[in-house]
Structure 1
Amino acid sequence: MKKPGAANSDSELRGDYSQAGRDFTIAQDWDAYTPEMHDRWRRLYRRQSELAERYAAPQFLEGLHRLDCSYGVPRFEYANMVLGHATRWQLVAVPGFIPDEVFFEHLANRRFPVTRWIREESELDYLVEPDIFHDFFGHVPMLLDPHVADFLELYGKAGARAIAMDALPMLARIYWYTIEFGLIATPKGLKAFGAGIVSSAAETVFSVTDPDVLRLRFEPVRVMNTAYRIDDFQPNYFVLESMEQLITDLVELDFGPIYETWRDKAPIAPGTLMDGERPWRGKLAEKPE
């Protein structure tokens, strides 16, 4: 999720916050993208879309095709016409990381914040902060899936309670292990739909083909109590059986008692198989010969 970071000078994060409004939105300023930036987008898009055709979830592929953003850095106004008609979501440009409360407010009102700057040439394979390619290519296609669209609105509305109960890390893990690093079982094998996976060339393949990485069935309380890595591939992933689980397994869940029970306990280390647990043993995606 977007992490707190009010101003570039204070947080040393990238992005120009000087023109941001109180909600941290700014104009995309599409005309400011240079030919080199558009070329960089096209090369990133070509690489990742080819991998996605083999390893990404069908819902992601459908959304990507509907957005038609292969030509260069996309215009948010064009994407908003597609999103608005399909799921009533809209994109808003932001300088980079934004405060949690602002992020939740945007999601609760079906506005998805997208960073407007694009990574440098030297960062094609690894990037510390999410840029427009991660945010748009990775996240926006899934906003066209009705289950993800509804889940993100509900997630945004859940933010205030998590903050009030001092349990934000627990709620954030739900987002991390679904919207950022989620996997789904399909008739054609395991597929990726999380933005952190599908926007990364190496993790796209690793997450759905590596036979040794720990994969577990999606179980909300387990997810909320599992730590994650931000500097390497995930040591474990959680697998949905369908996108509907984002609603059916979470919407009726009372997070309050869960927060009270677990918020002060140390989270489970990533990659840990607990006593009595069984790894997910479904069909993996097949590597190309």
Structure 2
Amino acid sequence: MSATLPVQQDYSAYTPQDYAVWQQLTERQTKALRQHACQEYLECLEALHPVLGPEHPPRFTDLNVQLRAAHGWSIKVVPGFLPVGEFFALLASRRFCSSTWLRKPEQLDYLEEPDMFHDIYGHIPLYLNADYATFAERLGKLGVRWAEDEEKITQLQRLYWFTIEFGVMRQEDGAVKVYGAGICSSYGETMHVFNDPAVEVVPFTLDAVLAQDFIITEVQNKYFAIRDFSELWAVVDELERRWSK
């Protein structure tokens, strides 16, 4: 199916199995994140309840009401992966793309392609946070502006990967907290960050992130820790300054 075709969430299509999978995923991950997620994510998740909670799969129309009221964001339903140019264009217009399908019970711990739980539970809560929401928009606008520059687009994809997908924070007391959707939507990834001795958490530096390759099918072993979301604004400011010379 072409990603350009109009797609909507057919809520009536969700089965009792879908309800059970959503509940199991949400309850397990919420319990894990109470200890490991940053306070900003937890506050946004709480603000979205009961629209986003374990009781039932979320209705995108209800989520959109809260997202638009907060900072003008909304969900764009897509059937699968988008070309990078289309993806950045959606971010630039304050729209986040999401699938509507949900994994099967035997896929609780691993998926090759992101499903609705990843897209919605992992990504959507932080779009209630003004700093994060504006960072994502500004990142998208950079992607639109430099769409024809392959090197810059690759660097923006790396920046997106190590912030929006797999971002972590290091608090003043030294504790690491997660905010990236790839971690917040994955119990295995959450446990990996905090329990695997191979994991390396290093301070976030723009040059290091822009140079860091990643493989989407492999678990992460290196994470770049910001102090707070204001640091992400400074990152975009620096990119705009460098690339406008």
Normalised TM-score (structure 2):
0.91
Q: How many residues align?
A: 239
- The structure-2 alpha-carbon separation of the partners of 1:209 and 1:250, relative to structure 1 and needing over 3 Å to count, comes to farther
Match of 2:178 in 1: 192
Match of 1:26 in 2: 7
Report the RMSD for the aligned CA atoms in angstroms.
1.8
Alignment of 1:59 onto 2:40: yes
Check conservation: 1:192, 1:208, Cα contact below 8 A: no
Whole-angstrom distance in 2 between the partners of 1:151 and 1:225:
20
Whole-angstrom distance in 1 between the partners of 2:100 and 2:212:
31
Of the structure 1 ranges 25-34 and 46-55, higher mean CA displacement relative to structure 2 is found in 25-34
Match of 1:108 in 2: 92
Check conservation: 1:138, 1:198, Cα contact below 8 A: yes
Of the structure 1 ranges 69-78 and 130-139, higher mean CA displacement relative to structure 2 is found in 69-78
Report deviation, 1:224.
0.7
* CA deviation string 1:184-216 (max 9, x = no partner): 122562100001111111211221454552221
Choose 1 or 2 for highest CA Rg. Answer: 1
Aligned to 1:237, what secondary structure does the other structure show? strand
Match of 2:212 in 1: 226
Aligned to 1:164, what secondary structure does the other structure show? coil
Check conservation: 1:48, 1:199, Cα contact below 8 A: yes
Whole-angstrom distance in 2 between the partners of 1:87 and 1:208:
32
Whole-angstrom distance in 2 between the partners of 1:109 and 1:217:
30
Report deviation, 1:36.
1.2
Alignment of 1:72 onto 2:56: yes
Check conservation: 2:198, 2:221, Cα contact below 8 A: no
Q: Percent identity?
A: 37
Q: Which residue type is aligned with residue 243 of structure 2?
A: G
Q: Which stretches in structure 1 are left out of the alignment for 5+ residues?
A: 1-6, 8-16, 259-289
Please identify which structure carries the higher helix content: 2
Q: How does 1:153-192 map to 2 (within 5 A)?
A: 153-167=137-151, 168-187=153-172, 189-192=175-178
Match of 2:122 in 1: 138
* CA deviation string 1:261-283 (max 9, x = no partner): xxxxxxxxxxxxxxxxxxxxxxx
Aligned to 1:251, what secondary structure does the other structure show? helix
Whole-angstrom distance in 2 between the partners of 1:94 and 1:157:
20
Q: Which stretches in structure 2 are left out of the alignment for 5+ residues?
A: none
Aligned to 2:9, what secondary structure does the other structure show? coil
* CA deviation string 1:59-88 (max 9, x = no partner): 111111111122111001111111111111
Report deviation, 1:155.
0.9
